[in-house]
A = this chain, B = another copy of it.
Amino acid sequence: MTFIDRLRKIQHSGNSLLCIGLDTDLKKIPQHLLKKKNPLVEFNRAVIETTRDLVCAYKLNLAFYEARGEHGWHALRETLALIPKFVITIGDAKRGDIGNSSERYAHSLLHDLKFDAVTVSPYMGKDSVAPFLESKAHGVFLLALTSNPGAKDFQYQKVGKKFLYEKVIETASRWSDGNIGFVVGATQAQQLRSVRKIVPHAPLLIPGIGAQGGNLEDVVRYGCDANGDLAVINASRSILYASNGKDFAGKAREEAMRLNDAINSFRMKFFQH
């Protein structure tokens, strides 16, 4: 099955556009877990077990795992093994290198670790992204408009009459038919509207709700395709650290459910689901 069909399928069957970012930080997880042999994996296991029926995807930001070297890399692999096969996994790695090197990154992320999709940086152009797009079974979310302050430095620079991030989306959408999507931060909800006009059928990964404070109603309204699908709305800290006590997994579920219900109420409002 193609990546985009899998994404649509789980967004329907699971009735969820929610993605949980497993940006797991040993400094923030409940203290009692630190006594366990592998606290990072134990934390992820509990969160996955209590939220797996509420999400369409889990996103793992590699920075949080690499920071722990070989052990972190192994924890990444162990965490991926805990995620049910029907849930999409996104390797948030933001790689991008000359073709020769990007091939290795694609091998590592899509074939060794077996992520279903990855985030990729657009700066080095087509041949740096192509190795990730080879199989339609895998998805790419190319960085377009990010949710951090630095987005203004280059992404909002004008290239002709367009912003650079629009130029990136227009250009890269021609690199593949079907498995290229884009990262558009929720803090830029108004911009989602113009992005959707450029790529009406592409998956959009939308980080920045919750801790970074994007407007959820606009995110759903403008981030979805015409059927109210293909927005992958990511929350990390607000769910993972909803409680730092022994009830963390239950509280994570409550917060995930609250968010998913809110998203679905806007989906009903704008798309008559």
Q: Which residues of A come within 8 Å of B, CB atoms?
A: 23, 61, 63-64, 66-67, 69-70, 73-74, 77, 94-99, 101-105, 107-108, 112-113, 121-129, 143, 146-155, 157-160, 164, 167-168, 171
A105 touches B149 (CB 8 A): no
User: What residues on B are CB-neighbors of A61 within 8 Å?
Assistant: 97, 101
User: What residues on B are CB-neighbors of A74 within 8 Å?
Assistant: 70
B157 touches A69 (CB 8 A): no
What copy number does this chain have within its complex?
Answer: 2
> What's the minimum C-beta distance from A148 to chain B, rounded to whole angstroms?
4
User: What residues on B are CB-neighbors of A67 within 8 Å?
Assistant: 104-105, 107-108, 112
The verdict on A154 contacting B127 (CB below 8 Å), with A67-B104, A101-B23 known, is no
> What's the minimum C-beta distance from A92 to chain B, rounded to whole angstroms?
8
Contact pick for A125, options B77, B95, B150, CB 8 Å: B150
- Given A63-B104, A157-B159, 20 additional A-B pairs, CB 8 A: A23-B101, A63-B97, A63-B101, A64-B104, A66-B108, A69-B112, A69-B113, A94-B95, A94-B124, A96-B121, A98-B147, A98-B148, A122-B123, A122-B153, A123-B123, A125-B149, A125-B151, A128-B150, A154-B164, A154-B168
Bound state CA distance, A64 and B97, in angstroms? 11
Most buried by B among A69, A99, A123: A123
